[in-house]
Amino acid sequence: MSVITNKKTAIVTGASSGIGKAIAYRLVEMGYEVYGIGRKFDDGEKPGLHHIVCDLRNTGEMLSAVKRIAKLPDAELKLLVNNAGAAYYGLHEEQNPEKIQEMVRVNLEVPMIITQQLLRTLKENRGNIINISSVTAISSNPHGVAYGATKAGLMSFSRSLFDEVRKYGVGVTAILPDMTDTALYRNADFEADDSVDAHLEPEDVADAVEYALSVREGTCVPEIVVRPQLHRIKKKTRNNEG
């Protein structure tokens, strides 16, 4: 892995597809040297974007990858984007311990651990932390109660962390997207509606990230909610599921 001297560096988890991929590409356009973490990448690297293959559910593997990036010569870590997510939907009684543990692990525990590992460096560099939460963090979520709980926890973490680190010049932003056209709903019996005004695109969330990073120095946007104009989902058919 190579780093261009004096390049501001960003780490993005869940960067292999969907929202994370869109954010990683946008950050490259904004001049960041981006290290995208994911379990599998189907596209090649590009100038400014480096793929880090890692299963975040494996604590040792995760810590090794993060520390390796942070210690790269001439890397000025300015941004951490906690984006990786796991979701299972349905009645809570129909979930199982493994699915619940995975959601808690990926959606909440991993962001807290990675942030803890990198926080001293981000304070030294007066950097930013962006946590991709969800609108489910601010509403009730029947058929997604565990997922919503993890995203509410991530938002609470963001709020408290900002109050803890704001005096050091660190910005913390929680972004709460609504229904976005990604693979997050592969384990659900519904998906994003096809209408352009009834779902978000991953690039819409990347827009919010860019906005959070573009405000003048000395200010911070703690939370951004992004919604489509219409509140509508599409029921999957058996053909869609297959």
Catalytic entry in 25, 147, 185, 211: 147
Instruction: Let me know if residue 3 belongs to a domain.
Output: no
Residue 49's pLDDT band, with cuts at 50, 70 and 90, is very high
Helix/strand/coil (H/E/C) assignment for every residue in the chain: CCCCCCCEEEEEECCCCHHHHHHHHHHHHCCCEEEEEECCCCCCCECCEEEEECCCCCHHHHHHHHHHHHCCCCCEEEEEEECCCCCCCCCHHHCCHHHHHHHHHHHHHHHHHHHHHHHHHHHHCCCEEEEECCHHHHCCCCCCHHHHHHHHHHHHHHHHHHHHHHHHCCEEEEEEECCECCHHHHHCCEEECCCCCCCECHHHHHHHHHHHHHCCCCCCCCEEEECCCCCCEEECCHHHHC
| pLDDT digit string, tens, across residues 115-173 | 999 999 999 999 999 999 999 999 999 999 999 999 999 999 999 999 999 999 999 99
- Higher model confidence: residue 242 or residue 138? 138
- Higher model confidence: residue 3 or residue 171? 171
Instruction: Let me know if residue 77 belongs to a domain.
Output: yes
Instruction: Let me know if residue 117 belongs to a domain.
Output: yes
CATH number where 36 lies: 3.40.50.720
- The pLDDT score that the predictor gives to residue 149 is 98
Q: What is the pTM of this model?
A: 0.91
Using the predicted structure, report yes or no on whether residue 190 has a pLDDT greater than 70: no
Share of the chain above pLDDT 90, in %: 78
- The pLDDT score that the predictor gives to residue 122 is 97
168 noted as active-site residue: no
- How much is the mean pLDDT over the chain? 91
Instruction: Let me know if residue 1 belongs to a domain.
Output: no
Instruction: Let me know if residue 173 belongs to a domain.
Output: yes
Instruction: Let me know if residue 219 belongs to a domain.
Output: yes
Using the predicted structure, report yes or no on whether residue 187 has a pLDDT greater than 80: no
| pLDDT digit string, tens, across residues 208-218 | 999 999 999 99
Domain ranges, residue 142: 8-241
Count structural domains, the chain: 1
Instruction: Let me know if residue 2 belongs to a domain.
Output: no
